[in-house]
Amino acid sequence: MDNTYVIIGGVAGGASTAARLRRLNEQATIIIIERGPYISFANCGLPYHIGKVIEDRDELILQTPESFKERFNIEVRINQEVTTINNDIKEVAIKNHITGESYQLPYDKLIISTGSMPLKPPIPGIDGDGIFSLWTIPDMDKIIKYIEKNKPKKAAIIGGGFIGLEMAENLENLGIEITLIEMADQVMAPLDFDMAQIIHRHISSKKVSLTLNDGVKSFSSEDGETIITLQSGKVIKSDLVILSIGIKPNSILAKEAGLTLNGRGGIVVDDYLKTSDESIYAVGDVIEVTNIVDGLKTMIPLAGPANKQGRICANNLMGAKEKYKGSLGSSVAKVFDMTVATTGLNEKQLLRQGKQLNKDYRMTVVHPGSHAGYYPGAFPLSLKVIFDLSGKVLGAQAVGYEGIEKRIDVIATLIKFKGTIYDLKDLELTYAPPYSSAKDPVNMAGYTAENILNHSMDNILYQELEQLDLNDTIIVDARTPYEVKYGKVDGAINIPVDELRNRLDELDSSKLIVIYCAVGFRAYLSTRILMLNGFTRVRNLAGGYVTYHVVSRDYTGNNVNTLNDEYISCETVEENNVFSLNTCISDGKEPLAAVYEKIDNLQDGDILEIKASDPGFSKDIEAWCGSSCHTYVKSHKYDDSYVVTIIKGE
């Protein structure tokens, strides 16, 4: 049996391969070559140490060369870099960056776990002072040192991916003013635009200035500031710049060794993680994988798959024939107060594959509470599920504040075992009022998807509204008149669901009826009333007005404008009356409808403190105050809810 195993790269996949190898073979010689000073560190935690959420730097270092040697009898050579793979003689050339020495190391089997590296395009001035990427612990140390020395007041983050958004939150924690610049039309690429808009609203409510659809043209320096010139000509000044433009596989060694790569530079491996060279295996971000949903080859650089691949690779090196069955791309991220999670395919990927909405796939969007509404602390949750016409679940996305990753993990498990939306509705999930509802959001998505496929309800997406022939369409708003005052779809007529049966004669049954409410349930009831009364062309707006409203707004720029930084209360404004309103418990109606009803009974100058479960409500009511001549004062977190303060009148 082979005896010497050399592993290039000591993080995630490399460390997992090494540890598993030792558990299977006590006699093998196992050597990890790591060009950096650390192995097996928690790179996902780096932004949180910068933001002082993780206070102890040592908590990020999961293993050291010494601990690896002591526990596993594995030799780890840090600050040493493999410069060449001589696969014809099964030997690697190594340079010791501490001593400057170069030497050769033979192997019986070689494992490449070189991971990925940040993209750094040839933008003029990109190597200037105060411009950083974050990928390793030394990168983190440089940023912390720069912040401590220069005390920046303004930071620009280039790129709205995981690291970019995490850095926005953590730098904001340090009191730094944030500008986020993204070349695409949205942040968080795994999300579709309608779900990403919820994130746009949330980060803009945190006083982050958001720029979309605009890339960086150049960097320059002036009086200690970095001058960022965008492609549009817009100029932004910043004291600190964090690059989070994207990543690419670190496959230079593999390419020079003649190993087969894909078009994106990923190492091509077989089902057993073996490369085109019989003696070389590869794991982690650097390899091409199969997408479990569609069977296509792709790149999915995530820690979870890398660790699983390391275990399977070690098993196969020891004689097993265990296949790596592919990746789903399940991911989760914290964005300020929000959680974002995804699994499987999104609409953008399907469209790039030439798939067509309604012909090849359908989707549903639901906005239930994170748990029973009558139990305190329920937060709104947006869940989008994509499925094909046979009912097979293709992917899901969720955004909210509580229980987000739980729902996506359930759906990811279902996709792994080739489940359908019918399985989704039948899942028996745990329930108690503090944790869920008797009909869990996952079940609700299954119910609505089933209604779509069995034609008891047909939905229409927000982007399809623009394609409608308005001469052949009637748009019906099934909400209450108070809710309609908050805003409505252009051209909609208001027929509340409870009045619909008595007002059927107001609708032309020969026309397409598009009906919506706040989140979709009342519109579904209206749809059934119409269909059971002979209306054959009825469609329910997916996600209701909640989705339509958030998608149709512009959250770019920094238009947060509070009167002051202190919370106004009874104690601070004694000359005014202060009233309270709790909108946390509702039957799907927008909180602003309750605000309308309440404020009608107040006098100019009265203060209204509104308790809501959605931090995004602050952004909505701020805009409403500006258009309805009331004064937005402040929003703040209070226990398990958010309190927004407004004053009636200007």
The DSSP element (H or E) to which 94 belongs, if any, is strand 91-96
| CA pair distance 5, 164, nearest whole angstrom | 36
- List active site positions: 44
| CA pair distance 48, 561, nearest whole angstrom | 28
Q: Using DSSP bridges, classify how beta strands 538-541 and 578-582 pair: parallel, antiparallel or unpaired.
A: unpaired
Residue 565 in this model has a pLDDT that exceeds 70: no
Crossing angle between the packed helical segments 616-628 and 591-599, to the nearest 10 degrees: 40
Write down the residue that tokens 């299977």 correspond to: 24
Q: Give the burial class of 14: count Cβ atoms within 10 A of its Cβ; 0-12 exposed, 13-18 middle, 19 or more buried.
A: buried
| CA pair distance 550, 536, nearest whole angstrom | 30
In contact, 152 and 176? CB cutoff 8 Å: yes
Q: Give the burial class of 635: count Cβ atoms within 10 A of its Cβ; 0-12 exposed, 13-18 middle, 19 or more buried.
A: buried
Crossing angle between the packed helical segments 616-628 and 193-205, to the nearest 10 degrees: 80
Mean pLDDT of 531-543: 96
Closest by alpha carbon to 458, among 524, 519, 549, 392? Answer: 524
Letter for the amino acid at 436? S
Supply the pLDDT for residue 643: 84
Residue 623 in this model has a pLDDT that exceeds 90: no
Q: Using DSSP bridges, classify how beta strands 240-243 and 131-133 pair: parallel, antiparallel or unpaired.
A: parallel
Q: Using DSSP bridges, classify how beta strands 154-158 and 240-243 pair: parallel, antiparallel or unpaired.
A: parallel
In contact, 371 and 365? CB cutoff 8 Å: no
> DSSP H helical segments within 389-511, as ranges?
404-416, 421-426, 441-453, 481-486
Residue 561 in this model has a pLDDT that exceeds 50: no
Residue 614 in this model has a pLDDT that exceeds 80: no
Supply the pLDDT for residue 560: 40
Mean pLDDT of 69-74: 96
Mean pLDDT of 349-355: 96
**SS3 per-residue string spanning 521-581:** HHHHHHHHHHHCCCCCCEEEECCHHHHHHHHHCCCCECCCCCCCCCCCCCCCCCCCCEEEE
Supply the pLDDT for residue 602: 85
Query: DSSP string spanning 614-642?
Result: -THHHHHHHHHHHHHT-EEEEEEEETTEE
| CA pair distance 571, 592, nearest whole angstrom | 26
Supply the pLDDT for residue 392: 98
Query: DSSP string spanning 270-298?
Result: -TTSB-SSTTEEE-GGGB-EEBTTT--EE
The model's confidence at residue 559, banded by pLDDT at 50, 70 and 90, is very low
Mean pLDDT of 18-24: 97
Mean pLDDT of 401-414: 97
Letter for the amino acid at 549? H
Min mean pLDDT across 495-499, 549-553, 605-609 is at 605-609
Q: What share of the chain is helix, strand, coil (3-state, %, to 5)?
A: 30, 30, 40
Give the DSSP letter of residue 403.
S
Write down the residue that tokens 């073996």 correspond to: 274
- Write the pLDDT tens digit of every residue in 224-275: 899 999 999 999 999 999 999 999 999 999 999 999 999 999 999 999 999 9
What is the total residue count of the chain? 650
